[in-house]
Amino acid sequence: MDIVNQLPLQRYRKVDDLLAFAAIYDDEKREQAYKRLLLRHKKQIQGSVCLEVGCGFGLFSEYLAKLGAKRVYAVEINPTMAAIARERLMPYSQVTVVQSDIRDFLPPEPVQVLVQELYGQMLLDEDLIVLDELRFSPKWVFPNGGRLMAGCSSSRQLCDDVVTPRLLKELDGVLVSGLFDESGLSLELPVLEWRYGKTHLEAIGDITPLDGDVLYLGLQIEHDGRPVCRASVCDNWSYIWTPRCGDHFKLCFKPEMDGCGCTVEFDWV
């Protein structure tokens, strides 16, 4: 879903966020993976004060309430989505929707459980870094980890009449999502690891063991080192592609001016 007409920047961002969440909620595999994770930790959730950061329409806040949370703070920075979440969650008296930047929000009571889905396709390129700036310390974060993984394939197998070898050559040094069919291609080597409380904004990827002249990168969400869901399985995240120009590359994530999300710099080294 894309906006095709010219809008004032502030309105564009608000509506674009709204459409992005609508697309996310179409990803049933991602939703079910998250719900399985929360269900496995039902004992920590029952009777606890919980918080969903970036709650969108409040899907997981609702699920936390159903799992027996004592109280749920559903925090959303976008005012339109916060209003939708407030309307959706009215039947749940233990849920409070808060329209706020999570970095500015100080809960009125200790939070035991924080639920987040702030991952970008390149792991850190959306909002994960805001978890380093919380004004409170949750006891548990679900999920609490993730990896950016790499794989390689052959352009002979991937290229077709549209994405030709000539076109691929022009993409040297460019990271492109959704360029090729991802089916049957596994994520083989870790490039960058994130754990709650431990964020590294630079990484050197070593793909020496891999065969193929096309590099692809993909997100794997984890909790306590156990996979939750990953790119290509969950529709919300695609593989990122680029022609292979060596055995090592450098990734650098630079926080954006507003402090949410990171821009990605990529170079072969």
At 112-155, the pLDDT tens digits run: 999 999 999 999 998 999 999 999 999 999 999 999 999 999 99
Question: What kind and span of H or E run contains 192?
Answer: strand 189-195
Average pLDDT for the chain: 92
Q: Tokens for 52?
A: 């969903």
Q: What are phi and psi of 187, to 5 degrees?
A: -90, 120
Which pLDDT value is given to residue 12?
73
CB atoms within 10 A of CB 126: 18
Which pLDDT value is given to residue 126?
87
Report the b/e string of 202-225 with b at 16+ CB within 10 A: ebebebeeeebebbbbbbbbbbee
At 81-123, the pLDDT tens digits run: 899 999 999 999 999 999 999 999 999 999 999 999 999 999 9
Q: What percent of the chain has pLDDT over 90?
A: 81
Taking 80 as the threshold, does the pLDDT of residue 224 lie above it? yes
Taking 90 as the threshold, does the pLDDT of residue 16 lie above it? no
Taking 90 as the threshold, does the pLDDT of residue 170 lie above it? yes
Identify the CA nearest to 233 among candidates 34, 27, 1.
Answer: 27
Least confident of 22-26, 230-234, 238-242: 22-26
**Angle at the Cα of 99 from the Cα atoms of 259 and 135, rounded to 5 degrees:** 55
How far is the CA of 158 from the CAs of 125, 148, 163, 186, 212, in angstroms? 26, 22, 8, 14, 11
- Give, as one character, the DSSP assignment of residue 11: H
Taking 80 as the threshold, does the pLDDT of residue 7 lie above it? no
Which pLDDT value is given to residue 213?
97
Q: Which residue has the higher pLDDT, 151 or 24?
A: 151
pLDDT band at 15 (very low <50, low <70, confident <90, very high): confident
Taking 90 as the threshold, does the pLDDT of residue 80 lie above it? no
Q: Where are the alpha helices (DSSP H) in 28-135?
A: 28-40, 42-45, 59-66, 79-88
Which pLDDT value is given to residue 20?
66
Identify the CA nearest to 33 among candidates 191, 142, 118, 132.
Answer: 142
Which pLDDT value is given to residue 1?
60
**Angle at the Cα of 60 from the Cα atoms of 17 and 89, rounded to 5 degrees:** 85
Taking 80 as the threshold, does the pLDDT of residue 19 lie above it? no
CB atoms within 10 A of CB 27: 17
Give, to the nearest 10 degrees, the angle between helix 79-88 and helix 9-24.
Answer: 40
Which pLDDT value is given to residue 26?
65
Question: What kind and span of H or E run contains 250?
Answer: strand 248-255
Which pLDDT value is given to residue 220?
97
Which pLDDT value is given to residue 239?
96
Which pLDDT value is given to residue 24?
63
